[in-house]
Amino acid sequence: MAVGIFDSGLGGLTVLDAVAKRLPDVPLVYMGDSAHAPYGVRTPDDIYNLTTSATQRLFDEGCDLVILACNTASAAALRRMQESWVPQGKRVLGVFVPMIEALTERQWGDNSPPREVAAKHVALFATPATVASRAFQRELAFRAVGVDVEAQACGGVVDAIEDGDMILADALVRSHVDALMRKMPQPDAAILGCTHYPLMETEFQAALGPDVKVFSQANLVAESLADYLARRPEMVGPGQVSTFLTTGDPDKVSSRATQFLRRQITFTAA
């Protein structure tokens, strides 16, 4: 019955937690590639190779459906994977779709012409690789017109979160928000375009101010997955047990994960 969730490190735990609450009867296999995190500073080919390797590990665990709970992987590897790598009978989905749906208030399958949406000035906070890919802007342009997107590459935030240095992460968030708001002083909405960033959502909101609507991915992805599985129940794979896998040090990763989710999480070596 398992569904796989992949992230370059611990950030995807925000998605896993939301999915587990929304779909409590579905076993989840989490794969964190902490040995190679962060992905946001890697080349597209490197990201593709690491992502396919991790996704294959989830297929081997009995997952027919894998969610790339990593914006960098979704931006730099997903399309190439879907076009030339994903085996027949398997599915790999990214995290951009639910965010675009929420921002444009239209379903992904709605192929009508792009139209105006409520948000006119959107701040995108993401890793350097996600920003460089322009994947978010490309997908948004298919569905919305008149939206000005200002992207800010948030170097160092993922590293600080993975290291458990939340004081440094807070300082970096404020610095990156300041840098973006010098370019876009009054955003209507902000996209937290990395699954690590919901762990700092309060800090992003405080730095942006109360008038900016902050879109965070975890709950949007969980709701989208529930809808997908309702339409495609055959994509729930044969795995029976929830499992946490890591390419990093299992003890260290387990300690960080337990700290983030405030419940005991035990990783084993992938």
Dihedrals φ, ψ of 61, to 5°?
-85, 5
Q: Which of 3, 19, 117, 194 is catalytic?
A: 194
Measured between its terminal Cα atoms, the distance across the chain in Å is 20
SS3 76: helix
Residues forming a β-bridge with 246: 32, 269
Dihedrals φ, ψ of 15, to 5°?
-70, -45
Q: Which of 70, 73, 214, 270 is catalytic?
A: 70
Selection from 229, 248, 245 nearest residue 237 by Cα:
229
Residues forming a β-bridge with 29: 4, 243
Q: Is 194 an annotated catalytic residue? A: yes
Going by C-beta distance under 8 Å and a sequence separation of 6 or more, which residues neighbour residue 34?
A: 8, 9, 10, 162, 246, 247, 248, 249, 253
Q: Is 154 an annotated catalytic residue? A: no
DSSP string, 140-206: HHTTEES-EEEEEE-TTHHHHHHTT-HHHHHHHHHHHHHHHHHH-SS-SEEEE-STTGGGGHHHHHH
Contact in structure between 69 and 5 (CB atoms under 8 Å): yes
Distance CA 127, CA 194 (A): 7
Q: Which residues are catalytic?
A: 70, 194
